[in-house]
Structure 1
Amino acid sequence: MRAAVYYGANKVEIADVPEPSPGAGQVKVKVGFNGICGTDLHEYYAGPIFIPTEPHPLTQQALPLVLGHEFSGTVTDVGAGVTDVRVGDRVAIEPLYRCGHCGPCRAGNYNICQQIGFHGLMSDGGMAEYTVVPVNMIHRLPDNVSLELGALVEPMSVAFHAATLGGTTPDDTAMVFGAGPIGIGLWFALRGKGLDNVYVVEPSQTRRVAIEALGATTLDPTSLDIPQFIADATDGRGADAIFDAAGVQPAVETALECIGARRSLVSVAIYEKPLSTPLQRLVMNESRIQGSLCYTSADFEAVIELMSQGRYDTTGWVDKIGLESVIDDGFEALHAGTKMKVLVDPSEVTA
């Protein structure tokens, strides 16, 4: 079968690799679509970062390996002991490996497992025609949720988990910094939770136009005093919850000027550079910064339910390409900012 194999920085090859077979407790999936994530970009241009060079303790795999952790597909085979998944099921994959015995796992917070692994980063993943996953990664898709949307369940669950940690109510005012895929996912999640007052802060006109087309209200930090605007819009209370999906110092500084008393700034970004946080603002406001990592099974199910209700729309921000085009139309286009989100169709093998 054909697959995108990662060997190291700037070296991903579309190669013929053996087609996998499911072992006990495993499920074989014919991949429908696989999304290219920001983490994949970091690995391609600056890695290996998370991809192990020595066998990972949970998967026993190391590079070279097949990329891809955001994917959907159709079950084609099941291993011994699998009874609740059937051939023909359309599924989304929750790609987390967890140890089950560390402190967070024992507390039910396996998304912050101390040995956490990802299918497609610590094992051969979904940027291939077929892949094999443990049965606990499987989430069935309703008939009215396409495989295209199914491939977005993983990143949208990242956003939904963060939105949940924000503790909002429908009457609240929320802000999202950054209108990339996770920022868009946050807007969908907050709207799905009943919020009408959601402001998306984004300096890129291209990204503002894309999310505005979905119905969002945007603020341009290059031409607007954001803290003053929020103060006016909330009668001086400040925002009830803020979500940072931008991952840059100016966004964090502005966010902290907007947050209401005893409210939280939820960070769901990856910070490439160390930040200096104005802690005095947190002290005087009794506000806080809350980290958010990954998702749980409940987040996956909540996103799938919202998708089945028609609450997610891919118009204007999602592109689909074939496997042979992964480098030029995938990594390079995303890195250059000419595309926002790319889904790879492994069945389409011609450029």
Structure 2
Amino acid sequence: MNSADASPLAVAWHAANISEIADFSNRSVLILGGGPVGIALIFVLRARHAKQILVSEPTALRAEQNAKLAEAVFNPTEDKVGEKYRELTTRKGVDIVFDCAGIQPGLQDGMEALRHKGIYVNVAGWEKPMSVPAGQFMTKEFTIKASMAYNDKDFKETVDAFIQGKFKGVEKMVTSRIHLEDAVNKGFEELIINKDNHMRILVTPKLERLNRTA
């Protein structure tokens, strides 16, 4: 496992640490956004024995990938996310929300799904200012935390967990493998044009052309 492979897992591990929840075994969790960090969070929360993992993801392919790991995945463009997740948590709402989407509709869904005195952890980079609904913020008395990247401690704990076999199946996060010479058109451009069809694209440092002449 190298730093590139561990990066999304370490980001997710840091977010779990930021929540300051020592024991996830009796906690229900909602992840907003089932992209690379969102699905990495599923693996991390599984490794940390979360009781219930739920996901909000509108893209069909990503929803399908997340559904293999989470208890339930809903499409926020079709379902009333807050209501659906309250139904799955005996009406009280989820204990923790990890926001990996960074969009206002997602935030509103997440805060509607969150229980009284729950924890909302923002992991996403927002392109627009975040607007917290004051009514829910006051009446639910929840805590908002921010999680940014990871530190050396997070990385070490992530690698240790990997060595212990706690991330089985994590290789499925890699949706494409390419050569260095294809990094622009099959890597960066592919992630821009068809980002919803990929989780992670791994690039080999060896040029294909050199391999052919070796």
Q: Distance in 1 between matches of 2:57 and 2:152?
A: 30
Q: Aligned residue for 1:323?
A: 180
List aligned pairs for 1:304-319, cutoff 5 A: 304-312=159-167, 313-315=170-172, 317-319=174-176
Alpha-carbon displacement from aligned partner over 1:54-88 (angstroms, at most 9, x marks no partner): xxxxxxxxxxxxxxxxxxxxxxxxxxxxxxxxxxx
2:189 maps to what in 1?
A: 332
Task: Summarize deviations over 1:35-69 as a string: whole Å, max 9, x none.
Answer: xxxxxxxxxxxxxxxxxxxxxxxxxxxxxxxxxxx
SS of equivalent to 1:314: helix
Partner of 2:19: 166
After superposition, residues 142-291 of structure 1 pair within 5 angstroms as 146-147=1-2, 150-168=3-21, 169-214=24-69, 217-291=72-146
2:176 and 2:198 in contact (8 A); partners too: yes
**1:349 shift after superposition:** 4.2
Q: Does 1:346 align with 2:205?
A: yes
Give the TM-score normalised by the residue count of structure 1. Answer: 0.55
Deviations 1:126-176 (A, max 9, x none): xxxxxxxxxxxxxxxxxxxx44xx522122111111112223421110010
Per-residue CA deviation, residues 324-351 of structure 1 (Å, 9 max, x unaligned), is 1111111111112232211111113449
Counterpart contact for 1:323–1:350, Cα < 8 Å: no
| Percent of aligned positions that are identical | 29
Bigger Rg, structure 1 or 2: 1
Q: Which of structures 1 and 2 has the larger relative contact order (alpha carbons within 8 angstroms, sep 6+)?
A: 2
Letter in 1 for 2:49: G
Give the conservation status (yes or no) of the 8 Å contact 2:36–2:173.
no
Question: Which amino acid in the other structure matches residue 128 of structure 2?
Answer: K
Change (3 A) 1:189 1:219: same
Query: By how many angstroms is 1:276 displaced?
Result: 2.2
The 8 Å contact of residues 334 and 340 in structure 1, kept in 2 or not, is answered as: no
Residues 328 and 235 from structure 1, CA distance in 2 versus in 1: closer, same or farther, beyond 3 angstroms? same
Pairwise CA distance, 1:211? 2.2
Higher relative strand content: 1
Matched-pair contact (CA < 8 Å) for 1:210–1:317: no
Amino acid at match of 1:204: T
Amino acid at match of 2:182: S
* Cα distance in 2 between the residues matched to 1:180 and 1:349: 29
State the Cα deviation string for residues 268-315 of structure 1 (Å, max 9, x = none): 000112232212211111012111112122211111122123333122
- Root mean square deviation of aligned Cα: 1.9
Q: Which runs of 5+ in 1 are unaligned?
A: 1-145
